[in-house]
Structure 1
Amino acid sequence: MNDSEMLEIVCARAWPPVVDEALGDWRLRWADGFTGRANSGLAVGDPGRSVAVALKAVCDFAHDRGIPPVVQVIQDSGTEREVAAAGWREWTEHAAGYQVSVLFGPLPAGPVQGAEVLDEPTPAWWELAADNPSPGAAERHVLSTGKVGYGVVDVHGVTAGAVRGAIVDGWLHVSRLAVRPEFRRRGLASALMFALAGWGRAHGAERWVLQVAVENEGALKLYSALGCTEHHRYRYWGPGAPACEDPQS
């Protein structure tokens, strides 16, 4: 297993779906439609059968659970070439961005400006991080399972920003960074990241890893300023008709 595959597995463990089934080394994932990462096949490693047969299993799994059949594949890998050869195409419909940069770097130190990391999420954290102060079971499972810290920063009694951190094998996986529009450009995003980095160090992490859509230029600029560099990219792929027809349709 190469470093890119290892990091993909770390990230997947930090973002656990509700249903996670093995297909050889691949993972079939479902979380009631909450995020692409938790509702796709993770095509990393050897599926234990031909890629074409594995992709049929991805289709069957997705159709049984009412989600689009999609695989997450390391860009420019041998697996990606086999997925393309099987008639699948880049799944550009993915709203959050079908091409993702995986960043990593050492945990930095800096001013936290009132940011802190909580052991339990607050309704305000849910509102910012998940766009829902009363999340459903799938969102709670994905965002609350494992060793998780919930970063918040308050301004005049208002939760102005939030972020999520999860510890996996000495890595701090960072996600769901959000700052309310009226509080942006005050350094709060950096403060949240510094607070989360300190929390990560306290729990044995030495580096962090982030998954960021390549179109999200603002986030990429922030993370670059915090010392992160790109490790690799992945893309989402979906079937080209009629490669994966739903027997129920």
Structure 2
Amino acid sequence: MNAPERLETTCSRAWPPLVEEPLGEWCLRWADGFTGRANSALAVGDPGRPLGDALTAVCDFAHGRGITPMVQVVRDSPNERAIAAAGWRPATHHGAGHEVAVLTKRHFHVKVPPPGGHFHVKVPDEPTPGWWGLALRPGEDSAAARQVLAGGKVGYGVAAEGAVTTAVVRGALVDDWLHVGRLEVGPAFRRRGLASALMGAVQAWGAEHGAGHAVLQVAEGNSGALALYAGLGYALHHRYRYWVPAPGSCEDSTS
């Protein structure tokens, strides 16, 4: 695998699905529909069989678990070109955005100022009820979602004003990488420095637990998040896209 594909494997381990099966170096993933990352085939490296057979296996796996067949693949990679040549199409319907930027930060040397107001920021090892309340978006709360978000070694960043949870973030450790996700600030508490403060706190937590680098994934269309992370020292590492089969081209060969 090349560097972007190795990093995608690391990110996948930080966002564990409920079911995963190897397909050569590819990985088939299912989490009852919660997020594209946990309900797609990670198409990195060699699937260990002809591409057409690999894509059929992706379809069979997805159909058998009631999800849409989909692959996550590094943009402009040989795998992506081969998948496009096989007739698959960009998953433009994907609600969270089918084109994603992967940003990295190699050192945690940027000093982040504390938030304004009377906010308290911490990173406990267990999620609080308030953390779940903000981290899970409308319609997402399910046993599968909670299992994905609680998988692995995780720090649950929380900013609070008194008893009110105002912002949250998730940091997951994989080897010496800190994977950052689920940054969310309550609508009534935005533009008060909470996002930057939480990022600083979760990075410090990661460094304390042995992380030397940080990585996060953000939709290309999320200009506000991209600007925030650039200001905190994150830079583009690579991009990935989701692809789906053309209508009628992905029948279940096991039926």
Fold conserved between structures, TM > 0.5: yes
Comparing 175-184 with 100-109, which one deviates more in the overlay? 100-109
Residue 67 of structure 2 aligns with which residue?
A: 67
Q: In structure 2, how many angstroms separate the alpha carbons of the residues matched to 1:12 and 1:133?
A: 23
Judge conservation of contact 2:102–2:239 (CA < 8 Å) in 1.
yes
The 4+ residue runs of structure 1 with deviation greater than 4 A are 246-249
Aligned to 2:219: 213
SS of 1:118 mapped into structure 2: coil
TM-superposed CA distance for 1:133, in Å, is: 11
Match of 1:78 in 2: 78
Match of 1:224? 230
Cα deviation digits, residues 138-159 of structure 1 (max 9, x gap): 1122111111000000123310
Please report the RMSD computed on the Cα atoms of aligned residues, expressed in angstroms.
Answer: 1.7
For the 8 Å contact 2:114–2:193, the answer to whether it is kept is: no
2:113 maps to what in 1?
111
What is the CA–CA distance in structure 2 between the aligned matches of 1:158 and 1:134, rounded to whole Å?
A: 21
The 5 A counterparts of 1:1-249 are 1-105=1-105, 106-107=107-108, 108-113=110-115, 114-131=120-137, 135-246=141-252
1:206 Cα deviation (Å)?
1.2
CA displacement at 1:246 relative to structure 2: 4.7
Flag the 1:60–1:128 CA change in 2: closer, same or farther, 3 A. Answer: same
- Specify every segment of 5 or more residues in structure 1 that has no aligned partner in the other structure, as ranges: none
Q: Is the 8 A contact 1:124 1:133 kept in 2?
A: no
Report the alpha carbon displacement of residue 134 of structure 1 after superposing the two structures with TM. 9.7
Matched letter for residue 130 of structure 2: A
Amino acid at match of 1:193: M
In structure 2, the gaps of 5 or more residues are none
> Percent of counterpart pairs with the same letter?
61
Q: Distance in 2 between matches of 1:112 and 1:244?
A: 51
Give the conservation status (yes or no) of the 8 Å contact 2:60–2:253. Answer: no
- Distance in 2 (CA, whole Å) between partners of 1:135 and 1:112 is 31
Q: CA deviation at 1:47?
A: 0.2
